């Protein structure tokens, strides 16, 4: 058997980029999918702009530009894995967007439609596109990036909350439907994680400190830590896990919140 073959969406930035680096470092061949053409080009550039030497990544990386909310992208990414690597073992459906608008905003429902298209429709397209190729390999793993915001809600984040809540149950339903063909479907639910998606929030004075105080581990997560959780769910160590949502949130969703958190040590 050759190297494992993996599709990763949202591969040009944040958690997806960390996944590309981790999976490739550990010997996987990767189809890296993103709508951001320039960001994807950086992935295969030598030397890399982030200083990670290409020699540290034995797996091959094939970039694919596409919008995950379009069926053509689902079809093309699976075709790319099969054409380049001859097989498909793992799919990481990670691309997602935020940007909920206030209820009273003129564009609020159009924005909801777009968030649902990327975060929910995009995941559904990814699952249905990949299933036949995974089945042909004898089974495999799909790991979806949901969110702690899909397990509980935040003020001002209703469209994103709705989309990630839908993703959580989509993953459970897909796990039931695909179990008979030995395809496992799981999700991670990251809490606040340092990525470009969150740059806008990080720039708000005091927000990182205030939010960190509400997280039992007292800090934001790192993209690499989310990639490690995804790696685990994709790995043979998780062979008996399907339909699960693994919170990778520093304990945030373990907390009821009725009593104020203890002061920082």
- The answer to whether 243 touches 185, Cβ cutoff 8 Å, is yes
Measure the CA angle with vertex 249, ends 12 and 77; round to 5°: 30
User: What are the angstrom distances between the C-alpha of 91 and each of 26, 51, 155, 214?
Assistant: 16, 26, 32, 33
Instruction: Decide if 160 is catalytic.
Output: yes
Q: How far is the CB of 255 from ligand NAD (least distance, A)?
A: 17
Tally Cβ neighbours within 10 Å of residue 149. Answer: 23
Which candidate in 85, 160, 220, 231 is catalytic? Answer: 160
User: What are the angstrom distances between the C-alpha of 103 and each of 99, 155, 158, 238, 263?
Assistant: 12, 11, 9, 41, 34
**Minimum CB distance to ligand NAD smaller for 70 or for 241:** 70
Q: Decide if residue 192 touches ligand NAD (CB under 6 A).
A: yes
**Per-residue x/- mask for ligand NAD, residues 81 to 120, rule CB under 6 A?**
-------------xxxx--------------------x--
Which positions from 58 through 77 interact with ligand NAD, judged by CB under 6 A? Answer: 67-69
- The answer to whether 69 touches 125, Cβ cutoff 8 Å, is yes
Out of 47, 196, 257, 261, which residue is the one contacting ligand NAD (CB under 6 A)? 196
Binding site for ligand NAD (CB under 6 A): 9-10, 12-16, 34-36, 39, 67-69, 94-97, 118, 122, 145, 147, 190, 192-193, 195-198
């Amino acid at each position: 058997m050759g190297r494992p073959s993996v599709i990763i969406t949202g591969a040009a930035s944040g958690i997806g980029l960390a996944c590309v680096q981790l999976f490739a470092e550990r010997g996987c061949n990767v189809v890296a999918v993103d709508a951001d053409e320039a960001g994807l080009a950086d992935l295969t550039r030598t030397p890399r702009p982030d200083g990670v030497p290409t020699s540290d990544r034995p797996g091959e990386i094939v970039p694919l530009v596409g919008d995950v909310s379009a069926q053509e992208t689902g079809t093309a990414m699976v075709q790319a894995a099969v054409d380049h690597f001859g097989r498909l073992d793992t799919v990481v459906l990670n691309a997602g967007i935020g940007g909920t608008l206030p209820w009273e905003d003129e564009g609020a429902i159009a924005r909801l439609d777009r968030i649902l298209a990327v975060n929910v429709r995009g995941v559904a397209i990814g699952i249905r596109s990949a299933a036949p190729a995974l089945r042909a390999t004898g089974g495999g793993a799909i790991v979806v990036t949901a969110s702690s915001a899909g397990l509980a809600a935040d003020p001002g984040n209703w469209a994103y909350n709705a989309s990630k809540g839908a993703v959580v149950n989509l993953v459970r339903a897909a796990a039931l439907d695909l179990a008979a063909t030995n395809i496992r479907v799981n999700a991670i639910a990251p809490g606040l994680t340092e990525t470009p998606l969150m740059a806008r929030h990080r720039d708000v004075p005091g927000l990182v400190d205030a939010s960190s105080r509400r997280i039992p581990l007292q800090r934001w997560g790192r993209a690499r830590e989310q990639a490690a959780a995804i790696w685990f769910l994709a790995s043979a160590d998780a062979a008996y896990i399907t339909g699960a949502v693994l919170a990778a949130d520093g304990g945030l969703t373990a907390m009821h919140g009725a009593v104020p958190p203890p002061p920082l040590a």
